[in-house]
Amino acid sequence: MAIGKLGAPPVVGRPPDALLSRPTWTEGLLSWLTTVDHKRLGILYIVTSLGFTAIASVEAFLIRLQLASPNNTLLSPDVYNQMFTMHGVTMVFLAIMPLAIGFANYFVPLQIGARDLAFPRLNAFGYWVYLVGGVFLYTSFLLGGAPDVGWFAYAPLTSLSNNPGLGTDFYMIGLFVGGIGTLATAMNLIVTIINMRAPGMRIMRMPVFTWMILVTSFLIIFAFPPLTVALFQVMMDRTFDTLFYVPAAGALPILWQHLFWIFGHPEVYIIALPAFGVISEVIPTFSRKPLFGYPVVILSGIFIGFMGFAVWTHHMFTTGLGPVVNTAFAITSFVIGIPTGIKVFNWLATIWGGKVWFSTAMLYAVAFLITFTVGGITGIMLAVPPFDAQAQDSYFVVAHFHFVMGGGALLAFFAGLYYWFPKMTGKLMSERIGKLSFWLLVPGFWVIFFPQHFLGLMGMPRRTQTYVEGIGLEFWNLVSTAGTFIMGAGLVLLLVNIVHGLLRGAPAGNDPWDARTLEWSTTSPPPYYDFDRQPVVNDRDAHWVQKYPESVHGERVPASASEPYDRGGAHMPGQSWYPLIAALSLLPFSYGWLYDNMWLVGVSMLILIVATYAWALEGVGGKHIHVGGHDEAHRAPDEGVDA
């Protein structure tokens, strides 16, 4: 390999010993397989996660059908256990979190005026690993049964003697592999947000969504390692007969719960904080006012993220940790209610005195506020250990976390979907279908989940495939099941609206909502280099200030000259095969581990190592562009190979 001497020009094009030349397709399947464009990867994340949401919704529908009447036998206990386990695993790991990451991928660079993430190939790797993990988990249905131990897979239910099937191995290996991609993406986002902000975008000028993604990424980095350790311990037990979680050998199975929840509780905020970020974009835009109390909202988010690591045993109040531990963790959990309440008040104050524009996105944001407030409040109730003793592992908890994760986070992301769809596609979704869908989806959600509070209080434990008649559970279960038809219709209409928008949507223009942040200053959809001119930021709500300088600064006219920053042009990353190959190697690796086939594991690791090495040697690549940008005629970039 020719390595340029110091000061000599870097290597042009393909290094002599590279295995594969850098692909240059711009359209078609191959261009998507080799893409490193954060916008394409963002769309891949969003589409994939919506696909998994649809699958998980079908699972949920089957669960509710089984529970429509007492002693129902539609699903056997085994199938039922697989359904709720895969519903939970899918929603948490394959649907909501990747949906947040998808939005982050697409919009963080646009919001901070960057042209891509810091490590574009690593970004592609993260997506493909997520897809590999999801596909691997779902092949379990074809290969002897899906995981059936619940999404938190308590030991010792997962030990080989208690669970000899492959389901648990699918869970452990699937999450283990998926976590690699999540960690890679989190680091990528942190580096991007810290290093690649547009000139003038000080940290306290960053859009709130970007801020929340930054906090979330730190949470991922600190939360996933304990989970990885725990997953690895169980796999060691199952593969190499270690005794981490074998009670007969004296193991204390409570260890799993500690490790899982010190991951699991931050995981809740990994999902919730991006949702807060989306809401903090949607509400100001459609109230046509800046976010009220921006620094307080940011600090609240940071505080919530920090405290997220100090509350894990509130998932374990009934495990007998004693009154002192329960008191301590009850109080830390209560404390989280304070910044959360502050956020809600600030959102309300943002709406107050504004000009509220009831687009579908805003409707979802309002529904989020109500639903999330209820979910947050039942969260405080559950943080009361004596009451939690009754509510823990009952349908009250099921209702609570669906209000927070489904009604809170998912509604927020639906708001985000309606808000950002025009930017991603250049087309508007139908407001008529959107509102019809909303008025089915949200009330349907309430009909499903609100009665589950009652069921929990009446003594119905979660994760039971049926219940006996005569203890008062029949009515509200039936109501809850009826709600799935209403919400299901809303979800179907949402999908219809997405397809309708793609095929028939009216042209959106660059800024259909008269919005506030930088992503709305470029075209819809943005060119692959994101911005014609390097944006320069003078204020929060950078785009708004450009449009309405007088509304913010009176007579002061902000500078808009970007010439000094554009003189050198921009460097755009080149496509690559290696992220895909490296990620795909984890699929045979997973099956090899699953079937104790160390040959397959070895070969896969070899592919991974070769791919990683080739990836490193491939060099930076990419191309240097000079975007004219000052008028339409110069829109086409002046492309040239990096030199």
Partner 1 sequence: MHWSRRLVWSLALIGVPLLAACDLAGPQSAMSPAGPIAQAQRDLFMWTFWLSWLVIIAVVGVLVYSVIRFRAKDEEDRKTLPHQTHGSTKLEIVWFVIPVILVILVAVPTVRTIFATEYTIDRANYTDDDVIIRATGYQWWFKFEYPREGFVTANEMLIPVGRRVIVELDSADVLHSFWVPNLAGKRDMIPNQDNQIWFSADHPGYYYGQCAELCLGAHAYMRFRVIAVEEDEYQAWLASFMNAADAAQTVQADPEVERGRQLMATKGCIGCHTIDGYAPGVEVGNPGFPDLTNFGLRTTVGAAIKANTPENLAAWLRDPQALKPGNYMPTLWQADDPNAAAEIDAITAYLLSLGVDADATTSATLGGSHGDR
Q: Where does this chain touch partner 1 (CB under 8 A) — which range of 368-376, 530-538, 569-577, 632-640?
A: 368-376
Q: Which of 76, 195, 560, 597 binds partner 1 (CB under 8 A)?
A: 76
- Output the smallest distance, CB 392 to partner 1, in A: 6
Q: Which is nearer to partner 1, 345 or 565 (CB)?
A: 345
Interaction of residue 558 with partner 1, rule CB under 8 A: no
Residues 177-236 touching partner 1, rule: CB under 8 A, are: none
- Output the smallest distance, CB 375 to partner 1, in A: 11
Query: Quick one: angle between helices 431-457 and 360-382, nearest 10?
Result: 10
Contact (Cβ atoms closer than 8 angstroms) between residue 604 and residue 582: no
Residue in 491, 485, 487, 486 with CA at minimum distance from that of residue 65: 485
Residue 260 is encoded by which pair of tokens?
Answer: 């899982």
Residues 54-73 touching partner 1, rule: CB under 8 A, are: 73
- Output the smallest distance, CB 449 to partner 1, in A: 11
Residues 226-285 touching partner 1, rule: CB under 8 A, are: 247, 250-254
Q: Which is nearer to partner 1, 138 or 154 (CB)?
A: 154
SS3 582: helix
Binding track, positions 493-512, relative to partner 1; x by CB under 8 A: --------------------
Q: How far apart are the C-alpha atoms of 356 and 283, rounded to whole Å?
A: 9
Q: Which of 83, 227, 298, 351 binds partner 1 (CB under 8 A)?
A: 351
Residues 384-403 touching partner 1, rule: CB under 8 A, are: 384-394
Residue in 10, 44, 1 with CA at minimum distance from that of residue 583: 44
Residue in 421, 604, 466, 345 with CA at minimum distance from that of residue 77: 466
Q: Which is nearer to partner 1, 127 or 450 (CB)?
A: 450
Instruction: Calculate the alpha carbon distances from 397 to 10, 121, 382, 450 in Å.
Output: 59, 40, 8, 11
Query: Which residue bears the tokens 């869970």?
Result: 171
Interaction of residue 465 with partner 1, rule CB under 8 A: yes
Instruction: Tell me how crowded residue 45 is: count the other CB atoms within 10 A of its CB.
Output: 26
The type of residue at 483 is: G
Contact (Cβ atoms closer than 8 angstroms) between residue 9 and residue 563: no
Q: Which is nearer to partner 1, 103 or 317 (CB)?
A: 317
Residues 510-529 touching partner 1, rule: CB under 8 A, are: 514
Q: Where does this chain touch partner 1 (CB under 8 A) — which range of 196-204, 306-314, 334-342, 585-593?
A: 334-342
Residue in 157, 150, 152, 216 with CA at minimum distance from that of residue 182: 216
Interaction of residue 413 with partner 1, rule CB under 8 A: no
Residues 285-314 touching partner 1, rule: CB under 8 A, are: 287-290, 292-296
Q: Which of 461, 549, 588, 628 binds partner 1 (CB under 8 A)?
A: 461
Q: How far apart are the C-alpha atoms of 169 and 592, rounded to whole Å?
A: 11
Q: How far apart are the C-alpha atoms of 139 and 131, rounded to whole Å?
A: 12
The size of the interface with partner 1 (CB under 8 A), counted in residues, is 98
Residues 146-165 touching partner 1, rule: CB under 8 A, are: 148-150, 154, 156-157, 162-163
**DSSP character at residue 507:** B
Interaction of residue 557 with partner 1, rule CB under 8 A: no
Q: Which is nearer to partner 1, 381 or 598 (CB)?
A: 381
Residues 9-48 touching partner 1, rule: CB under 8 A, are: none
Contact (Cβ atoms closer than 8 angstroms) between residue 235 and residue 157: no
Interaction of residue 457 with partner 1, rule CB under 8 A: yes
Interaction of residue 459 with partner 1, rule CB under 8 A: yes
Q: Which is nearer to partner 1, 371 or 430 (CB)?
A: 371
Q: How far apart are the C-alpha atoms of 161 and 246, rounded to whole Å?
A: 9
SS3 625: strand
Instruction: Tell me how crowded residue 492 is: count the other CB atoms within 10 A of its CB.
Output: 15
**Phi, psi at 461, each rounded to 5°:** -75, 155
Interaction of residue 79 with partner 1, rule CB under 8 A: no
Binding track, positions 573-592, relative to partner 1; x by CB under 8 A: --------------------
Residues 422-451 touching partner 1, rule: CB under 8 A, are: 450-451
